Amino acid sequence: MRRRQVLGMGCRLAGGAAASNLLLGGRLLASPAAKRLLVVGGTDFLGPAVVEAGMVAGFRVSLFNRGVTNPGSFPFLERLQGYRSVDASDQNFTALAGRTWDAAIDVWPSDPTMVSSLAEFLKDRVGHYLYVSSCAAYDGFARPGLTEEAPLRAFQGSGPAYNREKAESERRLQQTLGRKLTIVRPGAIDGYRNDGANLQTWLTRVQTGGRHIGPGSGNEPIQVVDAKDVGRFLMLAIEQSLLGAFNLTGEASTFQAFLAGCRSATRSSAEFVWIPGEFLQKQDPDYGRFFPLWVSPTAQTMAGFFRISSEKAVRAGWRRRPFDETAADVLEWYRERDARLPTANGRAGHWSDPLGADKEAEIISQWKSLHS
């Protein structure tokens, strides 16, 4: 294929939302007339997914962070170095002074003082402010079908600090920014660059084939959203001036269908033996750690956690990636990550299943012996 044909194909791929971009050296570069986007953070897991979505959308992306986490990422973007702190006298926003942006996205912090202090500094410097909160901000999950109108947790109350801080951050941002604010509340996030082992655990088990434990009945709900889908919705919100709060959760599914999806994505012939949580608990009181993303039906206070509605975002035009693509991203990332992880003896470190093949086989055998 000739170079001219390659360039022509590249320009066609850069069409649509990125039609105003220039293709140079394999990278999409925004035109001078493109919207200016400030991403706060942008170097770890969800952050890069947001940055990449902004570049594909044709925005002129600038990053503001400490320059500590993954400092070599996105070397071709403008990097503004500063520091956020719960102590106003210790923070440094100098690099943002005298600048304006069409939109700013605050990707991660939950501490309401850090969140609100930056928003106060930027409120007259940006036209549209977007904050990545969490479904954890809701005041409990006892009922399925939570929408954006559900009450948030009290700041001075019970429950995990992260949940209370996300809710309080939302309230303070509303006071500071008013109608120029968009809040997104993702559910459980997975995908490329996730260093957690939720989806990775199941994909790796299934890849090995053989028999594996399916916890519970298989009818328990699950929702997992791809980090790239969160990034794409944020760009949609900027492009269409979508204001207010939006839940961003994965497609509603049963755990049985979820594991079938893992099997399909890995082209595996693995089989599942469905074992009630009560029996699993007898084998190990802390059995839940072996089965990430699964919520026991006995956990009544969490009955609605994987049944949160994202219909509002879908009606606005949000679309989710196929599960196979998310699964492929997760497996690729873990191969890359494991190759970089040193161990005490200098060899590459590798993820290991917390359940272990021997223990899993023993539990299955005990269950089968009682029900043969």
Strand, helix or coil at 361?
helix
Helix (H) or strand (E) run with residue 127 in it: strand 126-132
In angstroms, the first-to-last Cα distance of the chain is: 62
d(CA 287, CA 78): 47
Residue 54: pLDDT over 90? yes
Residue 171 backbone dihedrals phi, psi, to 5 degrees: -65, -45
- Average pLDDT over the chain reads 89
Q: pTM of the entire structure?
A: 0.89
- Residue 341 pLDDT grade (very low, low, confident, very high; cuts 50, 70, 90): low
CB distance 237 to 300 below 8 Å: no
Residue 9 pLDDT greater than 50, yes or no: no
- Tens of pLDDT, residue by residue over 158-212, are 889 999 999 999 999 999 999 999 999 999 999 999 988 899 999 999 999 999 9
Q: Find the DSSP H helices in the chain.
A: 3-13, 46-56, 112-122, 161-177, 198-207, 227-239, 255-265, 277-283, 311-315, 323-340, 357-370
Residue carrying structure tokens 């500094």: 121
Q: DSSP for 275-308, please give it.
A: E-HHHHHHH-TTGGGGSTT---TT-GGGTTTT--
Please give the C-alpha separations between residue 231 and each of 44, 187, 317, in angstroms, as whole numbers. Answer: 13, 14, 14
The DSSP-derived string for 212-249 is EEEETTS-SEE--EEHHHHHHHHHHHHHTT--EEEEE-
Phi–psi pair at 246, nearest 5 degrees = -140, 125
Q: What is the mean pLDDT of residues 320-348?
A: 80
Separation between Cα atoms, residue 44 and residue 250, nearest integer Å = 21
Are residues 131 and 176 in contact, defined by beta-carbon separation less than 8 angstroms? no
Task: State the pLDDT confidence band at 315, using cuts at 50, 70 and 90.
Answer: very high
Nearest Cα neighbor of 177 from 96, 237, 115 is 115
